[in-house]
Amino acid sequence: MRRPVAVILAAGKGTRMGSDLAKVLHRVAGAPMVHYPIQAARDAGVEDVVVVVGHQAAAVEEAVRDAFPRARFAEQREQRGTGHAVLCALPELSGESGPVLILSGDVPLLRASTLRRLIDAAAASSAGLALATFEPAEVVGYGRILREGGRPVGIREERDASPE
């Protein structure tokens, strides 16, 4: 299997947090929040990491480089949603890349074992996509994965989604 790559989405402002500090720079247990998904990816055996930066890009890059000097960066100049952030990372991905893990930079409780299972599921499937999702008790604050017959067919940002 070709080497997996992690794309960490860390460009957003975190407006709902009510802070001027980029959301991924808020500290959790002494480290910037963005460190946790990067470390989980590394612990899952993913060495190649691309961080998509935008809001306070220089500060986010500095915080990441301090702990992960081999990380690479892509810039999302305008915050136009998750899909656009992923597109901004494409130039940093080589044709030699294996599975691509797309991770939010604001998920500090992500486990390496979860990522490893996701990588393994992608490798074992001919689907071309493995997607880890959850169904929250309250849908407020989350985008939606749209499904037909249990298969993902799209993503809706919260502002564009219905309560169902």
- List the catalytic residues: 16
H runs (alpha helix) in the chain: 35-43, 57-67, 82-89, 112-124
Pairing of strands 27-28, 5-10: unpaired
Q: Is the dihedral of CA 145, 139, 5, 92 positive or negative?
A: positive
Residue type, 16: R
Helical pair 57-67 and 35-43, crossing angle rounded to 10 deg: 40
Residue with tokens 């502002």: 159
Phi, psi of 18 (to 5 degrees): 65, 35
